[in-house]
Structure 1
């Protein structure tokens, strides 16, 4: 399986310090991405960050808006987000996933100059790729419970499965 033609390309904000140190996405203990991904039915078992390449076997990929590591996303500048958004558009145009799932509404709003974006499917498309904004799974985003996050991730999974079924018809 290659990174081209993915069902969903998940896009975090930027590497945290633990992710930068380990070289794996969402590596900080307590980050809820991996448990939520599993609870939402994207993976048949709970993956560890060091097993992220296994995502490809499920038609999933993972990247970031901004490549620079920081302790907190609020340390990033608006220009870093905008530049990251442009880079992400080029990556999506090359890889052509069915869905781009940006994990963090504030990051999406800044990277794509869409001040009114909300969690959920977006009007924007990048080429043929649809866009969905998901809640940030960081423990700092405490007003989203793991259950509520899993429900939103599940909505995306169902949309991606429905779309794949339509293509098979």
Structure 2
């Protein structure tokens, strides 16, 4: 029996999923900025190039540049095209770089890592799924040769 889908409802739900996906990626980028000290390094520093921010944080410039692009897209960081520099406004620093500020909210993003680790450990089944449901198994795929858990370009703190 063929199902007839209400295309308006499909479109409405697809839009919701896309909005949630964008929010998840923005949250991940914010978590990265917090964990790696990028926001702290930018706070009060004035205009910085991606090279200068990479030097301040000891991170790979290419990844810092990509992270900055995501922050500009989300309007967390301002880009000055004439000088190719980036500015982290003081008002944004109060929210993401100053733990003494009553507006500090970076802790919410730290929960992302903990939630992910909890799900990885707690949600796994110890018994293999039957062959008929193997595609929905929660078993972790094996890593291929040469794959690493973490990139060496992003040091952990």
Could you say which structure has the higher strand fraction?
A: 1
Q: TM-score, normalised by structure 1?
A: 0.27
Q: TM-score, normalised by structure 2?
A: 0.28
| Greater RCO, 1 or 2 (C-alpha within 8 Å, sep 6+) | 1
The structure with the largest alpha-carbon Rg is: 2
